[in-house]
Structure 1
Amino acid sequence: MGVTIADVASRAGVSKTTVSRVLNGKGEINENTVLRVRTAISELGYVPSAGAVGLARGTTQMIGMLVPDTAWAWAGIVQAVVETLETEGFGLRMLTWNRGEESLRRLGLQVAARSFDGLLVMEPEGAMGYITELHEEGLPVVLIDDRFQRPGFPYVATTNRLGGEQAARHLLEIGRRRPLVVAGPETFGCTRERLDGFLGVYAQAGIEIDRSSIVRGDFQFERCRSAVARAVADGLEFDSVFAHNDPSAAGVLAALHAAGLWVPQDVAVVGFDDVEMASYTYPALTTVRQPMREMGEAAARLLLDHVRGSPKAAPSCVVPTSLVIRGSTTGPSAN
């Protein structure tokens, strides 16, 4: 059983009611008592449930944002969130999700302290249940979802299936009929969406892609490089590769170069995301653009609508992908 409010009360030498008052910031409480309660919370690792905290709206002009880490891949989303919030007179309190239960405890303490009016969430591994509870108890929450999770609260997503379709149509247009797919993690909804969209377009063109032509790279450069190197060594014939993110595609380029294959003359390559590195690879990477900045701005505006209780607040929002064509598919003699 996890740590309870009764455990905190016992450690601090106060009543459960007093702990609740400290969590909610209600009433006149002696500073020493508040310190004892907060010390007990910290020592015990107590994560306040949403029901134990009186969630208030519109009091801090701050928005919380829970992110998996501070990796460069999220820079576009975060920058758009910051700019949008600043325009609306709100600040941003960043929380990272990289220490599991410790991160969850920190989030609980921030919620308990009413440090923000609403919460933006990205990839809350292992915390979706708690995030959902916060929403159900009254905290405005918006998920920035690139994995097709579709929670029971507002989200901003992109069109992963359409992105797969866009990649397939482009490869077919340049005459590539034997693609290799380097897929993301099987557990991610976005992987299934991107794969289904891609395979569907080829099926409509009368081309059934064999499962042996779908390898796993799990969104990682080295795993994708190794997967493609094995495919080449095994004699698998392919004239193109659809990689499920841009670091994967960079791994594909490295493997093809090491095998003495020219891109795009021998093998055309398409990635997904259009992160900054995509334009710096050699050749520059054709990729499906996941609209990071647009998703960040849409998520911030959607959350602010819910924080303000706007009657026009949308339940969710989907921002479409687009194809960015560069040299990895349209270089010399690509057709």
Structure 2
Amino acid sequence: MGVTISDVAARAGVSKTTVSRVLNGKGEIRENTILKVREAISELGYVPSAGAVGLARGTTQMIGMLVPDMAWAWAGIVQAVVETLETEGFGLRMLTWNRGEESLRRLGLQVAAKSFDGLLVIEPEGALGYITELHEAGLPVVLIDDRFHRPGFPYVATTNREGGEQAARHLLDIGRRRPLVVTGPEAFGCTRERLGGFVDVYANAGIELDQRRIICGDFLFDRGRSAVAQALADGVEFDAVFGHNDPTAAGVLAALHEAGLRIPQDVSVVGFDDIELASYTYPALTTIRQPMREMGAAAARLLLDHVRRSPEAAPSCIIPTNLVVRGSTLKPSSN
């Protein structure tokens, strides 16, 4: 059995309440008492649980965060969450949603143990119903989402439709009238929004995109590559490609290079997200920037407002995308 708060209290010769007060930094305690408690903690190797730390103050000062996995794609969001929470004196407890029911069971145990004061969630595929139940049971929850979930609790999202419109307007501005689109998965709301915005802008310019120009993708490099290779093999003429995320667009670039086409002179390419990869492709990728860090920081602040029951807490927050122009659409200088 591990060291308990009772063991610390016995070693220091104080009550458990006094140990809790020292852990929480609450109340006036004599300096020599604090020293004795800290020495006992050090000697026994006691690691206080979130529940123990929260005994006196009624809060753990911890926020839970549920992510699909630990992939690099969430790095910007997580870093912004950590920085925002640390500024407010909160810590972060990471949980992944990559083992289905086992992950949900683990989350349920953490909630039952009151291990954190609120929960941030990214893309809870298959778990949204359970997360909603937690919210309805009183747990403050905020969803960080770019796939157009609109749950019955606060969320932070971005402007996918407007991002698709921005991509289309940019391509039209540089004279590209025969675009190819490699989408994300059809089931995702963000795919429908990005495609809808893009198609509508072209339609308003008098250009209808037939189905041969819209290829279903999966947000992966290989699909971007194979989609363009297939379009070329089928004789589809195009002077631009809009990939629904940056890995897809990077695959598009690879296929165009392999076909001997010049970028952007023959074909211009636009991605979506502005992840680090976008700066390192050749040429560097023009893309629609999804504000990952801003979304993470906004979600953390929104959740803390709800944890603190602030009357100023907003119901939700939407942060706009913006166009980042690089070499995949910008013609090199002739000088």
State the match for 1:64 in structure 2: 64
After TM superposition, give the deviation of residue 227 of structure 1 in Å. Answer: 1.0
Is the 1:85–1:91 contact (alpha carbons within 8 Å) kept by the matching residues of 2?
yes
Instruction: Give the match for residue 322 of structure 1.
Output: 322
Percent identity between the two aligned chains: 83
State the alpha-carbon separation in 2 of the partners of residues 314 and 100 from structure 1.
Answer: 31
Q: Distance in 1 between matches of 2:72 and 2:251?
A: 18
1:113-157 CA-to-partner distances (Å, cap 9, x unmatched) read 110000000011111111000000100000001100111110000
How many angstroms apart in 1 are the aligned matches of 2:89 and 2:101?
32
Which residue of 1 is the match for residue 49 of structure 2?
Answer: none
Of 223-232 and 304-313, more deviation after overlay is shown by: 223-232
Asked if residue 208 in structure 1 is aligned to residue 211 in structure 2, the reply is no
**1:6-85 maps to which residues of 2 (within 5 A)?**
59-85=59-85
Offset of residue 58 of structure 1: 5.6
CA distance in 2, matches of 1:194, 1:142: 23
- Specify the code of the residue in structure 2 equivalent to 1:173: D
What is the CA deviation profile of residues 69-118 of structure 1, one whole-angstrom value per residue up to 9, with x for unaligned ones?
11111100000000000000000000011111111111111111110000
2:237 — aligned with what? 237
Contact conserved, 1:243 with 1:271, CA < 8 A, in 2?
yes
Q: CA deviation at 1:331?
A: 2.6
Could you tell me how far apart the structure 1 residues matched to 2:292 and 2:331 are?
A: 27
- Aligned position for 2:115: 115
**Matched residue, 1:288:** 288
Separation of aligned partners in 2, 1:127 and 1:240: 38
* Aligned-partner Cα distance in 1 for 2:216–2:83: 37
Query: How far is the alpha carbon of 1:333 from its aligned partner?
Result: 7.6
| Corresponding residue for residue 5 of structure 2 | none
Whole-angstrom distance in 1 between the partners of 2:210 and 2:132: 39
1:311 matched to which residue of 2? 311
Distance, in Å, in 2 between the alignment partners of 1:125 and 1:269 is 30
Q: Deviations over 1:299-324 (max 9, x none)?
A: 00000000000001000000000000
Matches of 2:333 and 2:60 in 1, distance apart? Answer: 59
Q: Contact 1:265–1:333 (CA<8 Å) still a contact in 2?
A: no
Equivalent residue letter for 2:119 = L
Contact map agreement 1:58 1:308 (CA 8 A) in 2:
no
What does residue 152 of structure 1 align with? 152
- Give, in whole Å, the separation in 1 of the partners of 2:264 and 2:256: 10
2:215 pairs with 1:223: no
Aligned partner of 1:189: which letter? G
Counterpart AA for 1:272: F
Q: Give 2:90's aligned amino acid.
A: F
Looking at structure 2, the residues matched to 58 and 328 of structure 1 have their Cα atoms a distance apart, in angstroms, of 54
Superposed CA deviations along residues 164-210 of structure 1, whole A, max 9, x for unmatched, are 00000000000000000000000000000000000111111111111
1:292 shift after superposition: 0.2
Structure 2 unaligned blocks of 5 or more: 1-56
1:141 and 1:154 in contact (8 A); partners too: yes
CA distance in 1 between partners of 2:145 and 2:100 (Å): 19
Residue correspondence of structure 1 range 236-275 to structure 2 within 5 A:
236-275=236-275
Residue 212 of structure 1, CA deviation: 1.1
Q: Secondary structure at the match of 1:181?
A: strand
| Letter of the 1:151 counterpart | P
Match in the other structure for 1:42:
none
Residues 1:146 and 1:58: Cα distance change in structure 2 (over 3 Å):
farther
SS in structure 2 at match of 1:329 = coil
Structure 1 Cα separation of the partners of residues 104 and 259 of structure 2: 45
Equivalent residue letter for 1:232: L
Residues 62 and 90, structure 1, Cα contact 8 Å, conserved in 2: yes
The whole-number CA distance in structure 2 between the counterparts of 1:125 and 1:310 is 29
Contact 1:68–1:123 (CA<8 Å) still a contact in 2?
yes
- Residue of structure 1 in register with 2:331 after alignment: 331
Q: Distance in 2 between matches of 1:302 and 1:241?
A: 37
Unaligned runs of 5+ in 1: 1-56
- SS at the partner of 2:131? helix
User: Alpha-carbon deviation of 1:256?
Assistant: 0.7
User: Residue in 2 aligned with 1:103?
Assistant: 103
1:127-146 correspondence runs (5 A): 127-146=127-146
Distance 1:240 1:99 in 2: 39
